[in-house]
Structure 1
Amino acid sequence: MPSYTVLEWKALPHGDGEGCIPAQLASRLVSQAKASPFSGRGSSGVLEDRRNELRARGVVGVLAAQDCSLEILPKIDVGMTEGSTQEKGEIRKRLVHMLAVARDLKIETGRITELDWQRETLLEILIRIFCEKLTEAVRRGMPRRYISQEDDLPALRGTLDVARQFTCHAANPGRLACRFDELSEDIALNRIMKAAVAHLSRMSRNTANQQRLRELAFVYADIMKIPASALKWGEVLIDRTNRAWQDLFGMAQLFLRNRYQRTNSGAGQGTALLFEMNALFEEYVGRLVTRALAGTEFRVTRQSGRKYCLTSLDDGREVFQTIPDILIWRAGQVAHVIDTKWKRISARIDDRKQDVSQSDVYQMMAYAHLYKAPRLTLLYPHHEGLGDKEGVQAQFLITDLETVLETASVDVAEGKDLVTRLRNTILPAITKEHSVLQ
């Protein structure tokens, strides 16, 4: 089955040559993309079917249609030749890292070679990581819990259900209505693992992954099969007895129910594993900022605030609620507002406005009025066009207010010591009225 890879906001021309996609296969992928919840949402859609090319938009991941698949990777400057297999491999590494941070997962990638990163798609790499972690976990033993059971037995086990005994077995004293607890592996966590294995078996096209999944399916053969839509996620309790399964539980959610990712399949004709980069970048940065400010007098909240812009004169109802991405608090007051944007801005030498959206500026001005923060930041991914250094790119004073609005960037291509870099370079500049980070 042919597989294609394209960077977000780039295009694959129609055709039969190298770097092209046949028009009929492009049409199948577009049909699959239209089934995604991200379809039809303006610039955040999945694919744009143009006359002579197929163009990716602001969603990344993998689409698989009948007889073909398409991998969409984010545009991250990793310092390699654009379009090369080395660049694609490095971008996959960075994307997996972002997913791990955003979902608070410990994902070990040491067994994956450079050749694997370059050769396998994002989907197959994630499936391999999941399979290897799950195989190691089940070798140590599947989690079990005591489950309440009721049964009619010839000898007493547990306690006697008096009411049922004298209504159902009054004429047959040889059977006893028993209630007892039995240690069982058929619990919600194992049912979720089985559902994830079954789901990934339908998605994987890699021979080695398919073999791993078949072996895992055999291990879970005695666990009840539950449709993904009927899984009881709320019944899973991660505690000291099953702490080793926390990351696997998180990965199962990543595949089956993540809030910024959607999977779907229809009649066996296609599947999708898609991530909206705006939401992923927001979650990624939010967790990094939280870690960077841990142990200081600052407190971080994400997707909070929720103040309204307007109040109706007719009935007093509030409308147009605001939900800033990140609020940094100090002594009960908002010290700083950060809004993340997965967009490319220009250097000031090229454009004084840096190609910042006017609607984003209006949004930040509303935050300045409602939250009274002295500093606000629009935070973007860093790229080579901004120079060598990440951090604050430009600062502006909001007219008639003593409030600074700045643009800043974070280099997601360089994952090493990212929390330390935030703590030592970006956040001190962002919150420099307060000296606790100096």
Structure 2
Amino acid sequence: MTLLTVREWGYVDLGPEAALTRAQADGLLDLADRAAPALKLKPSTEEGEKILLDGRRKLRAQQVVGVLATKSATLEILPKIDRDDGGARAELIHMLAVVQGLDLSTLDLAGMDAQNHSLLELLMALFAADLLKQLRRGAPHRYNEQDDDLRALRGSLNVVRQFSTLAGRQDRLACRFDERTNDTPVNRLLRAATVLLLRLTARQETRKTLTEALIHLDGAGPLPRGPIKFPNFDRSTARFAPLCRRAKLFLDHHFQTTSSGHAAGIALLFRMNVLFEEWVTVLLRRHLTPQGWQVQPQAGGQSALFRDGTGVFAMRPDLVLRRARNTFGDRETHVLDTKWKRLDGPGDPKRGVSQSDVYQMLAYRDAWKADSVTLIYPTNGALSIDRLRTANGTPFTLLELPMGDIRAAGHTLPGQVLEAIGGVTVMP
């Protein structure tokens, strides 16, 4: 098995003497094409945003991170941050942990990186550890009403059956009772993912954990044929919802061999610009909501143009922050958009900001009557807050977030955003 690691926009050489053969590359490209629709990306043969670009002697990664794994090769695509591969892998895991609600306390990431485990192995190990932790607290179950003729009373007596069908039978009692079963939709989904990961993992500790989890899931049946449905949850099973989301992710992105020649493989991929936006959103919601802020992701309800009173060209900024300005009902509004790209240095007055992004933010300002607009970018350097103003005086800020340490960035992000939007009015 060939294991290769590349960064966003990085290249992988192809050829008999290179790290990847043409046949292995074709398998990865085929897998990428099958995974593209779920990410709303184009196949490698079409123009537009893609997972991989196929060159004559090279493959080039795009702005997608994660892992593509076939039987003969695994390609790991890591964020373009200023860390070694182990560090970048760990930082990506920490970003996914925020977005997907992963519990990192169950795994020694530093120790696993030292052993050079792939991103796929890390994600499988995290799932296995979290699953077993929850199952040890008790597996989901339900009770089914059963009727049976027994020698001793169990549950309650079925009086009608006892004095009709069993009339005169002194050796049998018509019993009606509830029987506990593990065969629930939640357990079926978790069991299917566990069986899949047992086939995929090469890490002994993960295999051991998954095997124990299967014991707790004994009695759960197979998933029904067809698209995987996300189960419903009640108060007793709500703690399994994040695990079920991850189980469905593994199952949905595992591709079987087909009669048309497609090979089996797994593709766990994330658009880096979307992941960055979701990471910022989750952290701001977590820290600013208790302070009285309304954090609205993908805010809608506004249009750029109108025809006969009907809006056309809907606008949808990444984030809108609102909070009461005073006790009289006035509110302050701030519009933010995230961009997973690096800005140019201060020597360039435009900093490499796209002109279309500027026009878009101006449209957001007008539509939401915003007190400020902010573009958020990653940086491998220090925090930078570049304050500009629009023609009518509205603050227009370029905020560069240090991404070398995702855990530290997560703690400082909310305060940095509040600083960037120009000082917060405190309610009297």
TM-score (ref. length: structure 1): 0.82
Pairs aligned (count): 406
2:322 to 329, 337, 345: 329
The 1:185–1:326 alpha-carbon spacing in structure 2 relative to 1, beyond 3 Å, is: same
Partner of residue 390 from structure 1, selected from 383, 395, 399: 383
Q: Which runs of 5+ in 2 are unaligned?
A: 258-262, 325-329
Match of 1:200 among 193, 197, 202: 197
Deviates more, 1:324-333 or 1:39-48: 39-48
For 2:264, the equivalent position in structure 1 comes to 269
Instruction: For 1:325, give the aligned amino acid.
Output: D
1:296 CA drift (Å):
2.3
- Select the residue among 60, 78, 85 that pairs with 1:55: 60
- Name the residue aligned to 2:420: 429
Paired position in structure 1 for 2:341: 343
Matches within 5 A, 1:132-281: 132-145=129-142, 147-153=143-149, 157-158=155-156, 180-227=177-224, 233-237=230-234, 239=235, 241=236, 246=239, 249-257=241-249, 263-267=253-257, 269-281=264-276
Match of 1:10 in 2: 10
Q: Is the 8 A contact 1:305 1:322 kept in 2?
A: yes
Over 3 Å counting, the alpha-carbon distance change for 1:22 and 1:6 in structure 2 is same
Q: What RMSD, in angstroms, separates the aligned Cα atoms of the two structures?
A: 3.2
Out of 389, 398, 409, which is 1:407 matched to? 398
3-state SS, counterpart of residue 71 of structure 1: strand
CA contact (8 A) 1:262 1:274 kept: no
Offset, 1:336: 0.6
Stretch moving more, 150-159 or 2-11: 150-159
Offset of residue 61 of structure 1 = 0.8
Cα 1:48–1:179 change in 2 (3 A) is farther
CA gap 1:324/1:118 in 2 versus in 1, 3 angstroms = farther
- Tell me the residue number matched to 2:299: 304
Rounded Cα–Cα distance in structure 1 between residues aligned with 2:338 and 2:252 = 21
- Secondary structure of residue in 2 paired with 1:395: strand
- Secondary structure at the aligned position of 2:317 is classed as coil
Match of 1:119 in 2: 116
Identity among equivalent positions (%) equals 33
Deviation digits for residues 256-301 of structure 1 (CA, Å, limit 9, x no counterpart): 249xx96131226211111111111111101112233243242212
SS at match of 1:318: strand
Q: CA deviation at 1:357?
A: 2.1
Asked whether the equivalents of residues 321 and 335 of structure 2 are also in contact (C-alpha less than 8 Å), the reply is yes
One-letter amino acid of the structure 2 residue matched with residue 149 of structure 1: E
Q: Does the C-alpha gap of structure 1 residues 228 and 276 become closer, same or farther in structure 2, counting only changes over 3 Å?
A: farther
Conservation of the 8 A alpha-carbon contact between 2:131 and 2:243: no
2: distance between equivalents of 1:279 and 1:347? 24
Partner Cα separation in structure 1 for residue 77 and residue 370 of structure 2 = 38
Alignment map for 1:2-41 (pairs within 5 Å):
2-17=2-17, 20-36=19-35, 37=37, 38=39, 39-40=41-42
Residue type matched to 2:269 in 1? L
Specify the SS of the correspondent of 2:105.
coil
Check conservation: 2:317, 2:336, Cα contact below 8 A. yes
SS at match of 1:69: strand
What is residue 87 of structure 2 aligned with on the other side?
90
Secondary structure of residue in 2 paired with 1:224: coil
Q: Name the structure 2 match of 1:286.
A: 281
> 1:59–1:423: structure 2 CA closer, same or farther, 3 Å change rule?
closer
CA 1:62–1:106: 2 relative to 1, 3 Å: same
The one-letter code matched in structure 2 to 1:71 is E
Query: What is the CA deviation profile of residues 405-429 of structure 1, one whole-angstrom value per residue up to 9, with x for unaligned ones?
Result: 2211112322344354234444223
Runs of 5+ unmatched residues, structure 1: 79-86
**Contact preservation (8 Å) 2:106, 2:126:** yes
CA contact (8 A) 2:132 2:210 kept: no
Contact 1:158/1:178, CA 8 A, preserved across alignment? yes
1:84-132 C-alpha deviation (Å, 9 max, x unpaired): xxx1111111111111111233222653444535611111011112222
Q: Specify the alignment match of 2:327 in structure 1.
A: none
